[in-house]
């Protein structure tokens, strides 16, 4: 067990192997955070759409969730990166293939974002549906439009209720960012693999990678608990429902 | 250059894709079985009152739930041959091969998730049931086997099956160690014939149909279990 490997000169690019690890961490964080921005916004919209009484809004939202949840993330990555530039109109396809900056990164971000959005949509939907119907009806009886009911009554409570599962989804997106290595994003797992191939120190390198992921998880969990404490509504204990949702 | 769909490539490669699908299903079912068995053991360890059982199980579960699956696959892909060499004392012993490394990786990874599901399922049985069982003179083992687990199982089975569907999707990640599961087979045909669009869309369609119908069946099972509640 020789951890000094990280301070040895790297094979290429000058600098030491630790720089590769830091670069990997940077790309993991970037992919995950950008992906989460998409996931949270799109997921909230789709989740709200699934709870409306209008079938014309509900049906596409349900279709979206079913499609993006039932296709593996790896397959979706490949479709975004390899298939999409082929089936869009010629001009856009050429731009995507030749002139797009950092195509691997943006494809990974979009893919992760839309995949996670479907899971966020489910959480938001379950959060809204767990609020008693009386709240909605009272809001409508007071003359609020349906949109105002969502904005002032349902969503504030709904988001507070689902902070624990949303935390879990946020952590999942960090872990799923590793799938981006299949289309060439040099995030942490990819860099770990590369270093281990150059130095043959697989044990030390993968240990560091695992430690970093565990630290990310711990940090996010602690931060989310603090957030939950801060936004908790006194007297209303939003507990995580009985069994944990499946998945990772 | 995309010159139009060539559906013939799918038809030509169906036998090969079928082999890939058998691989995927085999890996899924074996990992599910191993994962549930190990997961139940871990859940019982976590529910025990002895720190010496509690803490290692909790540490294991939290560690594996914080790590990406690809990293776990890499770990076992590289570690299993080394472990075999050390255990057998023979520096040139053959590893078991990538399939068995992947199987071990998936079993151990899913066990952590199954443990949490089973533990929550067991904890969702009201404590009054356990107290009543003890009042009737049952031992801990009898109470578990005859009273708690049957009720817990009812709650757990749909979620266990849903986790199985997720496992089915995740087996596609063995692509990173070069194993030929269904996605790997589709990918190889795609790269050999230059037909990325058709093959990847076909793979997506197959996964969608299988997972959608499986989760639909799980929902119906859940409704069946809920009759009489």
Residue B111: both structure tokens together: 């066990």
Contacts of residue B115, defined as CB under 8 A and 6 or more positions apart, other chains included, come to B38, B39, B40, B42, B43, B46, B57, B61
φ/ψ region of A185 (left if φ > 0, alpha if ψ in -120 to 50, else beta) reads beta
Domain membership of residue A244 (yes or no) is: no
- Least confident range of A224-228, B17-21, B131-135: A224-228
Identify the three-state secondary structure at position B61: helix
CA distance B226 to chain A (A): 15
Residue B92 reports pLDDT greater than 70: no
- Helix-helix angle A163-176:A103-129, to 10 degrees: 160
Residue A241 reports pLDDT greater than 50: no
Q: Which overall architecture, per CATH, does domain B12-225 show?
A: Orthogonal Bundle (1.10)
Residue A22: both structure tokens together: 């830091």
The residue-averaged pLDDT of A9-26 equals 83
B189-212, pLDDT tens digit by residue?
Answer: 998 988 888 899 999 999 999 999
- The stretches of B124-195 forming alpha helices (DSSP H) are 127-135, 140-142, 149-170, 182-193
3-state helix, strand, coil in chain B (%, to 5): 85, 0, 15
Cα distance from N-terminal residue to C-terminal residue, chain A? 31
Domain membership of residue A14 (yes or no) is: yes
Domain membership of residue A245 (yes or no) is: no
The Cα–Cα gap between A238 and A227 comes to 14
The residue-averaged pLDDT of B40-64 equals 90
Domain boundaries, chain B: 12-225
- Percent of chain B residues past pLDDT 90, beyond the cut: 55
Higher pLDDT residue, A19 or B96? Answer: A19
The residue-averaged pLDDT of A168-194 equals 92
The pLDDT, as a whole number, for residue B90 is 67
Q: Which of A29, A31, A83 to mutate to test the interface with B (most CBs of B within 10 A)?
A: A83
Domain that holds residue A160: 3-231
Residue B140 reports pLDDT greater than 80: yes
Domain membership of residue A123 (yes or no) is: yes
Nearest to B148 by CA among B165, B167, B134: B134
Higher pLDDT residue, B132 or B154? Answer: B132
A62-113, pLDDT tens digit by residue?
Answer: 999 999 999 999 999 999 999 988 888 888 888 888 888 888 999 999 999 9
B217 and chain A in contact, CB less than 8 A: no
Q: Which residues of B touch A66 (CB under 8 A)?
A: 212
The pLDDT, as a whole number, for residue A242 is 38
Residue A82: both structure tokens together: 């390899």
Q: How far is CA A102 from CA A31, A115, A149, A184, in A?
A: 12, 20, 41, 10
Contacts of residue B193, defined as CB under 8 A and 6 or more positions apart, other chains included, come to B9, B13, B199
DSSP code for A184: T
Residue B61 reports pLDDT greater than 70: yes
CA distance B72 to chain A (A): 9
The pLDDT, as a whole number, for residue B223 is 87
CATH number (domain holding residue A215) = 1.10.3720.10
Q: Which of B31, B70, B164, B198 to mutate to test the interface with A (most CBs of A within 10 A)?
A: B70
Is the CB of A245 less than 8 angstroms away from the CB of B159? yes
Phi, psi of A54 (to 5 degrees): -85, 120
The Cα–Cα gap between B127 and B168 comes to 35
The Cα–Cα gap between A191 and A205 comes to 9
Residue B93 reports pLDDT greater than 70: no
Q: Which residues of B touch A247 (CB under 8 A)?
A: 113, 162-163, 166
pTM of the model: 0.88
Higher pLDDT residue, B225 or B197? Answer: B197
How many other C-beta atoms lie within 10 A of the C-beta of residue A241? 14
- Least confident range of A160-164, A240-244, B121-125: A240-244
Domain membership of residue A237 (yes or no) is: no
The Cα–Cα gap between A39 and B171 comes to 24
Domain membership of residue A95 (yes or no) is: yes
Higher pLDDT residue, B144 or A78? Answer: A78
Number of domains present in the structure of chain A: 1
Is the CB of A178 less than 8 angstroms away from the CB of B70? yes
The pLDDT, as a whole number, for residue B214 is 95
Among the partner-chain residues B69, B117, B200, the one whose CB lies closest to the CB of A78 is: B200
Residue B175 reports pLDDT greater than 50: yes
């Amino acid at each position: 067990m020789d951890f000094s490997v990280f301070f040895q000169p790297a094979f290429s690019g000058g600098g030491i192997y630790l720089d590769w690890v830091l670069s990997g961490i940077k790309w993991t964080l970037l992919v995950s955070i950008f992906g989460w921005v998409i996931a949270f916004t799109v997921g909230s919209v789709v989740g709200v759409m699934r709870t409306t009484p209008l079938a014309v809004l509900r049906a596409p939202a349900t279709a979206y969730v079913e499609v993006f949840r039932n296709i593996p993330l790896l397959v979706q990555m490949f479709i975004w990166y390899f298939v999409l530039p082929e089936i869009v109109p010629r001009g856009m396809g050429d731009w995507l293939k030749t002139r797009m900056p950092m195509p691997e990164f943006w494809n990974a971000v979009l893919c992760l974002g839309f995949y996670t959005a479907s899971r966020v949509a489910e959480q938001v939907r379950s959060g809204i549906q767990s609020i008693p119907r009386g709240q909605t009806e009272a809001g409508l009886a007071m003359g609020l439009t349906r949109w105002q009911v969502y904005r002032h009554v349902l969503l504030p409570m709904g988001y507070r209720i689902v902070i624990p599962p949303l935390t879990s989804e946020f952590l999942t997106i960090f872990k799923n960012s590793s799938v981006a290595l299949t289309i060439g994003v040099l995030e942490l797992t990819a860099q770990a693999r590369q270093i281990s191939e150059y130095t043959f120190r697989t044990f030390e390198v993968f240990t560091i990678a695992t430690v970093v992921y565990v630290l990310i998880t711990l940090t996010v969990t602690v931060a989310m608990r603090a957030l939950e404490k801060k936004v908790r509504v006194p007297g209303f204990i939003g507990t995580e429902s009985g069994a944990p949702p499946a998945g990772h | 250059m995309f010159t139009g769909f060539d559906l013939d490539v799918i038809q030509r490669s169906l036998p090969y894709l079928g082999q890939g699908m058998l691989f995927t299903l085999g890996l899924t079912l074996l990992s599910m079985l191993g994962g549930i068995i190990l997961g139940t053991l871990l859940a019982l360890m976590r529910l025990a009152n002895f720190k010496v059982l509690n803490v290692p199980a909790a540490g294991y579960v939290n560690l594996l739930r914080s790590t990406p699956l690809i990293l776990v696959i890499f770990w076992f892909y590289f570690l299993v041959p080394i472990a075999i060499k050390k255990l057998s004392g023979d520096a040139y012993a053959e590893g078991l091969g990538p399939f068995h490394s992947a199987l071990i990786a998936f079993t151990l990874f899913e066990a952590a998730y199954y443990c949490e599901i089973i533990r929550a399922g067991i904890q969702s049985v009201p404590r009054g049931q356990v107290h009543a069982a003890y009042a009737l003179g049952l031992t801990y083992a009898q109470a578990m086997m005859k009273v708690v687990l049957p009720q817990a199982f009812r709650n757990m089975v749909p979620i266990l099956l849903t986790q199985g569907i997720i496992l089915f999707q995740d087996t596609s990640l063995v692509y990173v160690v070069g194993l030929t599961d269904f996605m790997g087979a589709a990918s190889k045909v795609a790269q050999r014939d230059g037909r990325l669009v058709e093959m990847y869309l076909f793979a997506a369609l197959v996964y969608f149909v299988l997972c959608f119908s499986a989760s639909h069946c799980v929902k119906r099972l859940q409704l069946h279990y809920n009759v009489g509640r």
